[in-house]
Structure 1
Amino acid sequence: MRLTYWTAFCVFVVDQATKWLVVHWLDLRSVAVIDVWPPFFTLRMAWNRGVNFGLFADFDARWLLVAIALGVTAFVLYWINREGGGRPALISAGLLVGGAVGNVVDRILYGAVADFINMSCCGIVNPFAFNVADVGVFAGALGLVFFAGRDEGGGKDRRKRT
């Protein structure tokens, strides 16, 4: 479990540090767009008041979304502690938890999640922005799908070992 907590801590720190750097130090709040390596990598300020891709942004659901994220975080920590798994599962849980907590802090501090990474390629313009926490949540959830319930030894399902 220590690996899960350390991974969550690292994701949280990197997420909050990049948000502080971009939102405050580079003042992306005022500038709105900074072309770093156009069109592949652009910093584009987007305040996400909803869920993924701004869904439900018109509703004031900040505290509901905070509660849901904290509930999911508690469930994942309980589940990974109970079910265990190998290093990939523990790291995946930490990625998800660190990202979720990072976005919770944004909702509490700013009233919305600070998204700023925008990537486009090959003539396709991506209108969406994301942040380090979003990457952690996505990678962690995907990792849990593939690695949860497996041990390091032979990759067998823990429930079959009873």
Structure 2
Amino acid sequence: MHLSRNLSIILLIASNIVVDQISKFIVRANVTPYQESEILGSYLTLNNVENTGAFLGMGSDLNPTIKIIFLWILPVLVLSYLIYYIYKNKQMDNYSFIALCCIAGGGIANVFDRIAYGSVTDFLHIDLGGIFRTGIFNLADLSVTTGMFILLFGSFMNRKKQNE
């Protein structure tokens, strides 16, 4: 079965949003705020933290008007353009297509939280004994990050094809 391109866009973006929102709903309902629970020892922990800023809490202390501009309005405009770009660019390779849909879905999920709740629920933390350590993040952040890695990988693969 071959899905239409437009349906594929909707399904990819929507699935990113739905999985993120379900995970946040479960965390808000079942995890005590600011309490750490081990999932895989201390390597992967679960926390319930409300982030009123952007990436790693940056911008949490901004003036409310500036916060609305930079954490609501600007992201909505950028995400709107990104979705327009995905729909209009019919020559996009599969890597870019999937990556940009993941980025859009994750971005929409976090903007939705900021608008609906005034903050974004973050809950996952990775600490591989000092070798690799993250801030506390959520599945929307993971979707955006995965999309960025897919874009980089796709760019590498496309450049490799062109050189052959």
Length-normalised TM-score, structure 2: 0.79
SS of 2:49's equivalent in the other structure is strand
Which consecutive aligned stretches of 4+ in structure 1 deviate over 6 angstroms post-superposition? Answer: none
Q: Using the alignment, how far apart are the partners of 2:152 and 2:132 within structure 1? A: 30
1:28 to 29, 32, 35: 32
Residues 96 and 46 from structure 1, CA distance in 2 versus in 1: closer, same or farther, beyond 3 angstroms? same
Distance 2:102 2:132 in 1: 28
Contact kept? 1:43, 1:116, Cα under 8 Å: yes
Q: TM-score, normalised by structure 1?
A: 0.80
Question: Partner residue of 1:159?
Answer: none
| CA deviation after TM superposition for structure 1 residue 51, in Å | 1.4
1:54-81: CA deviation from partner (whole Å, max 9, x where unpaired): 1121113542212122111111112222
Give the gaps of 5 or more residues in structure 2: none
| Whole-angstrom CA distance in 1 between matches of 2:25 and 2:97 | 28
The whole-number CA distance in structure 2 between the counterparts of 1:96 and 1:73 is 9
- Aligned-residue sequence identity (percent) comes to 26
Q: How far off its partner does 1:117 sit?
A: 0.3
Equivalent position of 2:95 in the other structure = 88
Aligned residues: 151
1: CA distance between counterparts of 2:18 and 2:124? 17
Q: Is this contact kept in 2: 1:43–1:117, CA < 8 A?
A: yes
The worse-fitting range, judged by mean Cα deviation, of 58-67 and 127-136 is: 58-67
Which residue identity is paired with 1:40?
A: Y
Match of 2:77 among 65, 68, 71: 71
Instruction: Determine the structure 2 residue equivalent to 1:136.
Output: 143
The equivalent of 1:4 in structure 2 is 9
1:44 pairs with one of 24, 43, 47: 47
Q: Which amino acid is 1:57 matched to?
A: S
Q: Secondary structure at the match of 1:114?
A: strand
Say which SS state the counterpart of residue 129 (structure 1) adopts: coil
Q: 1:99: Cα distance to partner?
A: 0.4
Q: Which amino acid aligns with 2:43?
A: F
Equivalent AA in structure 2 for residue 105 of structure 1: F
Q: Of the candidates 24, 27, 47, which is equivalent to residue 19 of structure 1?
A: 24
What are the ranges of 5 or more consecutive residues in structure 1 without an aligned counterpart? 157-162
Task: State the distance in 2 between where 1:121 and 1:111 align.
Answer: 31
SS at match of 2:47: strand
